[in-house]
Structure 1
Amino acid sequence: MNPRVVLGVSGGIAAYKACELLRRFTESGHDVTVVPTAAALAFVGAPTWAALSGKPVSSEVWADVHAVPHVQIGQRADLVVVAPATADLLAKAAHGLADDLLTNTLLTARCPVVFAPAMHTEMWEHPATVANVATLRERGAVVIEPAEGRLTGEDTGKGRLPDPAEIFHLALDVLSRGVSAPDLAGRHVVVSAGGTREYLDPVRFLGNRSSGLQGYALARVAAARGAEVTLVAANVTLPDPAGVKVVAVEDTAQLRDAVLAAAVSADAVVMAAAPADFRPVTVSQDKIKKAEDGSSPAIVLEQNPDILKHLASQTPRRSVVVGFAAETGDPSGSVLELGRAKLARKGCDLLVVNDVSGGGVFGSPDNEAVILGADGSQVSVPLGTKSALAQVIWDEVARRLGP
């Protein structure tokens, strides 16, 4: 049976964006029931929701009373997503009010619940809203952090509804776990992603093939499991994951500074980025020209700081540190042998070892890996989506975080 999703829509201007979210759910085979508030119907009419979902739409508890919709919709749901969630809706949900079909559904649902807030910055930052969000999170709901950007009118700030595609991906991650309690709630995690660039001149650089897909999957999954997530992204062109703070960097020094600054308050740091091992000793201020005699310029390199080793060696250390190793194997050892040596050398808690022979991992939506633990553990993750691998990585991190 297709997963049953309830899409709650409350009365904000961002209600029109929920149409895109609904389309993504229905086109991916989910059975979606739309439950708008009366205010939401002032922005997007019931015919639109009915046409996109293929089901009749009502906001009233009095419609089809014989079927007891105010109880059964929530009871039967596998996932409830409220997008947008206004300050008013969050307040009602936090205080258990039930004056329409959506708030009744929220009270009867025993499945995971995701709220995607959208409102003006002042409303999001008001102590009442802050307290309501904290209450909902304590009860096990996933409340996504709003995005920053253009709001209604000329205002800009935090309070924008995250991209519907990213809300959809986060919702799938929540649904895939099939449990209602976000096990990373109250935790701050740091994830790095992408590949750094070390410039030779204004137009050329040393880089690598990292797309950032695995790091972004890790950030998205962590947010779906309730964590506060800081994503340090090096030269990545992917859309920001919903509910995640993104810090953009370019070279390895910037990556190091951003990760170390965020790690001060982190419970876990996952270094999925591919920092350049070397950088030029000198950087030309002008574009390096071809020599008339066909000779090549001499480029002298020096080692970049080892960010993973530095994180793992900090004393005292309160965070779980996870590294990645992209290996191909060589005459000195197999992929796993080289991975175990790197785990010992870096001193981290977990090392995710990828066999990148042939370059198949880079830019691919799928991945497979072996997760090595400093405690001698070894977890093999078969080929699957990068989100599936991210779930296993966070399972291992959560076990080491404890209560």
Structure 2
Amino acid sequence: MLSGKRILLIVSGGIAAYKSLDLIRRLREKGAAVTPVLTRAAEQFVTPLSVSALSGNKVYRDLFDLTDEAEMGHIELSRSADLIVVAPATADLMAKMANGLACDLASTLLLATDTPVLIAPSMNVRMWQHPATQRNLAALKGDGIAVVGPDEGAMACGEYGPGRMAEVPAILAAIEAAVADGPLKGRRVVVTSGPTQEPIDPVRYIANRSSGAQGTAIAAALAGLGAEVVFVTGPADVAPPGGVTVVPVESAREMLAAVEAALPADAAVFAAAVADWRVAEQSGAKIKKQPGGAPPALQFVENPDILAAIARRSAGRPALVVGFAAETDDVIAHATAKRARKGCDWIVANDVSPATGIMGGAENEVTLITADGAETWPRMGKPEVARRLAARIAEALG
């Protein structure tokens, strides 16, 4: 997928800059040509010599280089690549990008380009969570900048939380998705996945039995066809795929808000196993078992119906809305009724009764229900189900 692709890699000044060396090596292994740009701060962490040796190309560093700028080199650099990757993208460089500054070679390249841009943020957890950084991130996404990461984990400064630059395999997957020339190139798809968890008290919750494997595979398959995927996931057992924008949530209400924030989209695939109910009043303290006493009485209220809410939107409805129906009996009849009741275009139905081993397993056996009827697919691995569904979505979107 990357063979022959030209990547302009901008490395800015953060401790995660060392990962850029491995990224360059792996990009070249996949056949990509890498042109590196270092900010002055980046040179405090990696040397121009090491970057040049790994990339096999000259390292660009200075906006006012007389030789390069005699032919407006920053314009040529910014427009000759298939993709511009910023890894790591520091809070400083993100702020420059969001506000249109052009005070050094990196920021000038990013302002002068019409080439797609992918950033991999990396910074201290407090910097990442600061309102200014989140405003800049929202502005960059609104400008069409793709984002991979950051991850959550231990920081070089000793703190813990979100802000670690995504690992190189995830960045590679995001780059492959960004340059993919598949049938969904230029299309935006929202995918929900995993279970939701509805708190009862600080230690207990209501949830469905879902690993998130099928939704994760669907998001990866759609990204592989070139789609821009927003992946809204509950607390799943499997890691999210690379090459997608991951929005972690916990409850059904959080999932609905995240989906609505991700619109507009060309298609939406609702593979998440959303809890139908939540307790009316969540306890702020652990509910104690009383010796000899009756169990606590829990009053339930219905959660928002995410599939129906999006399928029945009067404005901003995706052109294709796909729901899932996990049933234990009369699968096709229940799923067909669900499609009509929810107002979605397709339903992917499956039998999740314990004997099938599908819930939490590696395989799935589904029936695709559309306005034209029911089409049962043979049992196959969940990635193959995902690829088949993604191909049908691409066909439906033309």
**C-alpha contact (below 8 Å) 1:12/1:43 kept by paired residues:** no
SS at the partner of 2:373?
coil
Q: What is the Cα deviation at residue 46 of structure 1?
A: 8.2
SS at the partner of 2:184?
coil
The answer on 1:255 being equivalent to 2:255 is: yes
Which position in structure 2 is the counterpart of 1:165?
A: 169
Judged with a 3 Å threshold, the aligned counterparts in structure 2 of structure 1 residues 377 and 237 are, in CA distance, closer, same or farther, namely closer
Separation (CA, whole Å) in 2 of partners of 1:299 and 1:222: 41
- The RMSD of aligned alpha carbons is 4.2
Separation (CA, whole Å) in 2 of partners of 1:316 and 1:256: 16
The answer on 1:371 being equivalent to 2:368 is: yes
**C-alpha contact (below 8 Å) 1:191/1:270 kept by paired residues:** yes
Which position in structure 1 is the counterpart of 2:341?
A: 345
**C-alpha contact (below 8 Å) 2:230/2:247 kept by paired residues:** yes
**C-alpha contact (below 8 Å) 1:174/1:224 kept by paired residues:** no
Using structure 2 for the length normalisation, give the TM-score: 0.65
1:319-377 per-position Cα deviation (integer Å, ceiling 9, x unaligned): 12111111222xxx2x3333223222222111122332337344445544332223436
Which position in structure 1 is the counterpart of 2:79?
A: 95
Judged with a 3 Å threshold, the aligned counterparts in structure 2 of structure 1 residues 3 and 188 are, in CA distance, closer, same or farther, namely closer
Separation (CA, whole Å) in 1 of partners of 2:57 and 2:314: 56
Question: Paired residues, what number?
Answer: 329
Question: Unpaired runs of 5+ in structure 1?
Answer: 50-56, 61-87, 97-105, 107-112, 138-142
- In structure 2, give the amino acid aligned to 1:258: A
- In structure 2, give the amino acid aligned to 1:148: P
Judged with a 3 Å threshold, the aligned counterparts in structure 2 of structure 1 residues 32 and 254 are, in CA distance, closer, same or farther, namely closer
Separation (CA, whole Å) in 2 of partners of 1:395 and 1:89: 41
Separation (CA, whole Å) in 2 of partners of 1:361 and 1:371: 16
Which position in structure 1 is the counterpart of 2:62?
A: none
1:63-116 per-position Cα deviation (integer Å, ceiling 9, x unaligned): xxxxxxxxxxxxxxxxxxxxxxxxx999646633xxxxxxxxx7xxxxxx6664
Judged with a 3 Å threshold, the aligned counterparts in structure 2 of structure 1 residues 11 and 322 are, in CA distance, closer, same or farther, namely closer
Which position in structure 1 is the counterpart of 2:181?
A: 181
Which position in structure 1 is the counterpart of 2:325?
A: 325
**C-alpha contact (below 8 Å) 1:173/1:221 kept by paired residues:** no
Which position in structure 1 is the counterpart of 2:141?
A: none
1:179-328 superposed matches below 5 A: 181-236=181-236, 241-263=241-263, 265-293=264-292, 295-316=294-315, 318-319=317-318, 320-328=320-328
Which position in structure 2 is the counterpart of 1:100?
A: none
SS at the partner of 1:230?
strand
Separation (CA, whole Å) in 1 of partners of 2:332 and 2:37: 58
Separation (CA, whole Å) in 1 of partners of 2:377 and 2:76: 45
Identity within the alignment, %: 33
SS at the partner of 2:278?
strand
Using structure 1 for the length normalisation, give the TM-score: 0.65
